[in-house]
């Protein structure tokens, strides 16, 4: 009996959309041992298809209908703006095939996906992030009531090779997942940009600033994950009373960094709801 959570024993999975995130997920799946013969990707771009085929050895298709033929899991990896059209085109096939539907799109709800695909389907709405490319991502997953235990295990198996997974029981919170971890890598990259610029403004050479900042973020992230200790405690150990870090933290707090981050996450979270409404 194959283990449905193991990528090596996945049923045939079709990715509809072969862009940035699909590439990350396909790469992660194969790195975790999935058979390239069990992975298909549909994308309208001949260049994207050629790159996917040569990089990963997966079968590629111009037409989504051809890619999903015989696939038990369909992963929708297109932009929210085209999701309705893409689903509607596949609705008749979906009603016959009854696949496990997995979406990685921001904002688009499981009810919308189900409705556009004709209704009554098992749908898992997920939100991965780009470090999936390194197997260092994190994905939030929500399953609609039609998804059984095997479907959950299958969806988790598809995303687990991209990194950690977190099940979310209340779909209304999936936009907050997007605003936290889906978009989150960009927040860290923005911090890196700002720190590099500040370091250069203090007189450091650009290459020195780049190395100092990148390895500071890498080291701090590893400490966060590997120590399991709360960030407040890790920060306390860097902050000598009356020392340099305290001076910097006071500047951050005076500038309301926490409030700014809260407003940014709120903006991303709200945008998820807007993407859902605007593309219904």
Ligand X SMILES: NC(=O)C1=CN([C@@H]2O[C@H](COP(=O)(O)OP(=O)(O)OC[C@H]3O[C@@H](n4cnc5c(N)ncnc54)[C@H](OP(=O)(O)O)[C@@H]3O)[C@@H](O)[C@H]2O)C=CC1
Given the rule CB under 6 A, which residues bind ligand X? 16-22, 42-45, 48, 64, 77-80, 82, 86, 104-106, 127-130, 182
Q: Report, in Å, the least distance between residue 200 CB and ligand X.
A: 27
Residue, CB closest to ligand A1CAB: 182
User: Can you name the residues that pair with 144 across neighbouring β-strands?
Assistant: none
Q: Report, in Å, the least distance between residue 178 CB and ligand A1CAB.
A: 5
Q: Report, in Å, the least distance between residue 83 CB and ligand A1CAB.
A: 12
User: From CA 103, how far away is CA 160, in angstroms rounded?
Assistant: 15
Q: Does 180 bind ligand A1CAB (CB under 6 A)?
A: no
79 known member of a binding site: yes
Q: Which residues contact 170 (CB under 8 A, 6 or more apart)?
A: 142
Q: CB under 6 A: which stretch of 53-61, 116-124, 138-146, 176-184 binds ligand A1CAB?
A: 176-184
Report in angstroms the alpha-carbon separations of 35 from 57, 74, 234, 273. Answer: 9, 16, 41, 36
User: Can you name the residues that pair with 74 across neighbouring β-strands?
Assistant: 14, 101
> Two tokens at 141?
């997953």
20 known member of a binding site: yes
Instruction: Determine the 3-state secondary structure of 30 from DSSP.
Output: helix
Lateral strand order in the sheet of 59-61: 59-61, 39-42, 13-16, 73-76, 100-103, 122-127, 137-143, 163-167
Q: Does 183 bind ligand A1CAB (CB under 6 A)?
A: yes
129 known member of a binding site: no
120 known member of a binding site: no
Q: Cβ closer to ligand A1CAB: 13 or 174?
A: 174
Q: Does 106 bind ligand A1CAB (CB under 6 A)?
A: yes
Q: CB under 6 A: which stretch of 27-35, 169-177, 178-186, 188-196 binds ligand A1CAB?
A: 178-186
Q: Report, in Å, the least distance between residue 182 CB and ligand X.
A: 5
> Two tokens at 96?
């016959």
Q: Which residues contact 179 (CB under 8 A, 6 or more apart)?
A: 265, 266, 267, 268, 269, 271, 272
| Residue 18 partner contact from ligand X, ligand A1CAB, none using kind-dependent CB cut-offs of 5 to 8 Å | ligand X
Residue, CB closest to ligand X: 19
DSSP string, 125-184: EEE--GGGGGT-EEEEEEE-TT--HHHHHHHHHHHHTTEEEEE-S-GGGHHHHIIIIISH
Q: Report, in Å, the least distance between residue 175 CB and ligand A1CAB.
A: 10
Q: Report, in Å, the least distance between residue 149 CB and ligand A1CAB.
A: 28
| Residue 174 partner contact from ligand A1CAB, ligand X, none using kind-dependent CB cut-offs of 5 to 8 Å | none
Q: Among residues 178, 180, 269, 276, which is the contact residue for ligand A1CAB, using CB under 6 A?
A: 178
Q: Does 155 bind ligand A1CAB (CB under 6 A)?
A: no
- Calculate helix-pair angle for 46-56, 20-31, nearest 10 degrees: 10
198 known member of a binding site: no
Residues that bind ligand A1CAB (CB under 6 A): 106, 178, 182-183
């Amino acid at each position: 009996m194959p283990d449905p959570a193991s990528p090596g024993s996945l049923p045939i999975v079709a990715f509809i959309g072969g862009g940035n995130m699909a590439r990350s997920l396909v790469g992660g799946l194969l790195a975790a041992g999935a058979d390239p013969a069990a992975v298909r990707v549909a994308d309208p771009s001949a260049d994207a298809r050629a790159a996917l085929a040569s990089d990963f050895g997966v079968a590629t298709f111009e037409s989504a209908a051809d890619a999903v033929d015989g696939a038990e899991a369909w992963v929708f990896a297109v932009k929210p703006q085209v999701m309705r059209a893409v689903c509607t085109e596949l609705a008749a096939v979906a009603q016959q095939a009854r696949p496990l539907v997995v979406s990685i799109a921001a904002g688009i709800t499981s009810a919308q996906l189900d409705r556009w695909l004709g209704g009554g389907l098992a749908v898992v709405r997920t939100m991965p992030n780009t470090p999936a490319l390194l197997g260092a991502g994190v994905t939030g997953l929500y399953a609609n009531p039609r998804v059984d235990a095997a479907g959950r295990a299958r969806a988790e198996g598809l995303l687990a090779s991209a990194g950690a997974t977190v099940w979310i029981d209340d779909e209304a919170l999936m936009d907050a997942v997007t605003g936290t971890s889906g978009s989150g890598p960009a927040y860290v990259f923005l911090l890196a940009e700002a720190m590099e610029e500040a370091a250069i403004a203090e007189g450091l050479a650009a290459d020195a600033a780049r190395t100092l900042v990148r390895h500071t973020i890498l080291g701090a992230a590893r400490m966060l994950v590997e120590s399991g200790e709360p960030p407040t405690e890790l920060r306390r150990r860097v902050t000598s009373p009356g020392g340099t870090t305290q001076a910097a933290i006071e500047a951050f707090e005076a500038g309301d960094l926490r409030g700014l981050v809260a407003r940014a996450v709120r903006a991303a979270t709200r945008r998820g709801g807007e993407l859902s409404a605007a593309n219904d």
